[in-house]
Amino acid sequence: MDYVEHVTDLVGNTPLVRLNAVATGKTPVLAKVEYLNPGGSVKDRIALRMIEAAEASGELRPGGTIVEPTSGNTGVGLAMVAQRKGYRCVFVCPDKVGEDKRDVLKAYGAEVVVCPTAVEPEHPDSYYSVSDRLVTEIDGAWKPNQYANPENPESHVHSTGPEIWRQTEGKVTHFVAGIGTGGTISGTGRYLKDISGGAVKIVGADPEGSVYSGGHGRPYLVEGVGEDFWPSTYDKGICDEIVPISDAESFEMTRRLAHEEALLVGGSCGMAVAAALKVAENANPDDVIVVLLPDGGRGYLGKIFNDSWMASYGFLSPDVGGGRVGDVL
Ligand code: PMP
């Protein structure tokens, strides 16, 4: 019989899909489709590794509680693994995260605490501060802290990187990904740099206004990427280039991916693809660009895929993105 013992056994080994409609040049642009992980995002990869490392070190004990500030995807991965192993989960989200995403966490049995987005990280109501307080208040609590946990990038050194190298038969020349905690780009980037002797170029995609592309944390709407501080999970030396992308470009490309490539993905995927296409403009025909798409689009139906929401931010006006968003209505 062909089955796995638990859904978490299906994490990783996601496929590469060539983009044909949005990428029309000779250089292949291959999308690593992370929504095909069982929890629907790239974050399934880090969840299992962080939890098992904490069990091994004794930081997480039987019957313990996992407390984490998460925009949703890490929460789903943690909740899946926690269910299997019998832990309670309390997640802390900023209020810019869509209600759909929060409901998903609750459906997996997690508790969710919502905090304001528009405060400094040091503010007592910020989602970082609230999660720190909960860790001290709840008995047996453990905080994975995806922003500082070395097992986050390490999970990509052991899974995402080797998968891409194997799937491209060592032909990958560029790896493009968004940067949130930086775990994906730092771990995958380190593996690909090491195995290729430094030949693979690592390109970060970043929302305009985020620190990684030289901003100061000016607010932007794309979720899960960009920061207003420098997490230790991000290796500052890993990127050969960082491409800033506006919300308008990210959301336009996100809608095109659904409409033209049948890839219903999240806003950070549109952002990463927009950056990958800029890389492709200057690439050679025998280059191979891999771009990582972190999650699926269902959590954004009320936002990016909702015309009124888009119009309320001016993203549907013809002078934004050359009218492209309007084209796909
Ligand atoms: N996109 C989305 C939707 C995410 O949730 C995250 C994780 N915060 C990322 C991209 C960035 O991944 P990483 O944290 O590994 O840099």
Q: Which residue's CA is minimally distant from atom 1 of ligand 1?
A: 224
Q: Is the beta carbon of 160 within 6 A of some atom in ligand 1?
A: no
Q: Is the beta carbon of 75 within 6 A of some atom in ligand 1?
A: no
Looking at ligand 1, which atom is closest to the CA of residue 267?
Answer: 3
Q: Which helix (H) or strand (E) holds 76?
A: helix 73-85
- For 125, counting Cβ atoms within 10 Å of its Cβ (0-12 exposed, 13-18 middle, 19+ buried), the class is exposed
Write the pLDDT tens digit of every residue in 29-53.
999 999 999 999 999 999 999 999 9
Residue 278 falls in the annotated catalytic set: no
DSSP 278-309: HHHHT--TT--EEEEE-BBSGGGTTTTT-HHH
Q: Which residue's CA is minimally distant from atom 2 of ligand 1?
A: 224
Catalytic residue among 32, 43, 101, 143: 43
Overall average pLDDT of the 52-71 stretch:
94
Q: Report the distance separating Cα 173 and Cα 84, nearest Å.
A: 38
Looking at ligand 1, which atom is closest to the CA of residue 223?
Answer: 3
Write the pLDDT tens digit of every residue in 127-161.
889 989 999 999 999 999 999 999 999 999 999 99
Q: Is the beta carbon of 266 within 6 A of some atom in ligand 1?
A: yes
Q: Is the beta carbon of 180 within 6 A of some atom in ligand 1?
A: yes
Q: Does the pLDDT at position 327 exceed 50?
A: no
Q: Report the distance separating Cα 165 and Cα 162, nearest Å.
A: 5
Place of tokens 């089955």: 3
Write the pLDDT tens digit of every residue in 200-247.
999 999 999 999 999 887 789 998 899 888 999 999 999 999 999 999
CA distances from 212 to 36, 42, 319 (A): 28, 20, 27
Q: Report the distance separating Cα 136 and Cα 108, nearest Å.
A: 24
Q: Which amino acid belongs to residue 324? A: R
Q: How confident is the model at residue 98 (pLDDT cuts 50, 70, 90)?
A: confident
Distance from the CA of 2 to the center of ligand 1, in angstroms? Answer: 32
